[in-house]
Structure 1
Amino acid sequence: MTAGQWIIAFLMCYGLMYAGNLIGTALTFGIGMVKGTGVDNPLISTVMQLNPWVTFIIAVLIAPTAEELLFRKFLTERIVKYGELAAVLASGLFFGLFHGNLNQFSYAFLLGLFLGFIYVKTGKLRYTIGLHMAINFIGSSLGTWMLRVTGYMDTMETLTKFLNTKDLTVLADLGNGIVGMFIFGSYASLILMWLNRKKFVCCAPEEKVASLGKKKAAVMIGNPGILLYGAFWIGIMIWQLLQ
């Protein structure tokens, strides 16, 4: 990737992150309405409580390196023989589930798909680690500041207050946060992705596994390890939603 391509990829990641946040917020808001109580976002709570330097070391330096090694290099290199599309989907799904809550799953899944695609096309882990670090830096070290600027923190506080009081008047402040996030993040991502849509093409499986047909899916997702992984993290997500 050239420097320009990496910057475009970063902007796409940035938009995907906020689009995923909107989806996660909408889903948890709906679940909270059914429950009658709000659904906490553990990421916000953790970022607000940790020392900024501790957050930087863990979220910006350690986590991106470890997660890219696991979900991009080790995972996709084992699955790519079944096709690049299969590797990209697995990268996004397993990465999203690993976060253990619906709020983060929504954007981690989208980012995982995108980073998985970049890795299977370039084979260079440094590109995805760099993108992951940049996104985590914005979402953690600069997270509190950006939440306040975009109005998203106010949005979350308003949602929580509404769920606790059922007072419709407190929803009046939601517009600024939602509109600001959507315009600032999602629009840029959608436009860039549309302009580059012809580049998002995945190659077919290797010839020796292309003939497996339905057995290919059984081998990939029907083995005990994958089933246990999925059951564990889905269980954690359900437990977190019910708290």
Structure 2
Amino acid sequence: MENTPLIAIPSIELKPAVSLFDSLPRSTRAIHPVHMEALGQALGFILYRHKVRSAVGGILKTGDTPRDRVLVYVNGKRTGVIDSIYPHPTLNLKPGDVLDTLIENLGRVNYGSEIPNQRKGIVGDVTVGSTVLLDWEHFPLTLEKPPSAHALLLILRTQPLQGQSSTKAHSMLRVPVIPSSNFLENGVILGRYWTVGPQQQLYLPGVYLKKRNNEITVLALEPNANQSPAKGIQVRSWSNNPDPDAP
């Protein structure tokens, strides 16, 4: 088998392109939250939206358990993260507030006793304190196709790169300033990156690179993702880092 080299790609400026909350797909309404599979969705993200009608306060609980990683927003501002280890945030909501929960499906097990319990999204009711929140909109974000009008929290997109790459060379893609994100190269999903590690770069196969006009799209899930440079390097590194969302 031919030994294909790894190449270095100079730093590439990434610029914000579109926000999730400005470009959502068509929604489905229900009195109670509906889990991902019941909506015909198998993968990706799902956004649940509730418009507050009366004041309510207390600990937010999103169904029986986080399935899997829940980003919580009030009026478009992130107010908490829920997963299997972090505590549920305390909210004080007033009439007119918009509560959004963006839930990322991190995958399913395919063995063992938990196979029947692999539904994703919200299973059960959402409560704030002792109050059950009713009337929800559901926005599926499957990522089965490259995002255009349907975007996640923030899309960072490069300008076309002229003559920076060769279709016969691979690279390791590094975006060191974005704690949590998903990457696409020329419309192909490369994978998920999370700063906690151990993987600190994503493999960029040369077969996905064109001789001209390559485009990197980053679906960034963290609020500090602006102006983060991308770079192709020749040596993969592994490390574990603190989770910036940890309380």
Structure with the greater relative contact order (CA < 8 A, sep ≥ 6): 1 or 2?
A: 1
Question: Normalising by the residue count of structure 1, what TM-score does the alignment of the two structures yield?
Answer: 0.23
More strand by share: 2
Question: Normalising by the residue count of structure 2, what TM-score does the alignment of the two structures yield?
Answer: 0.23
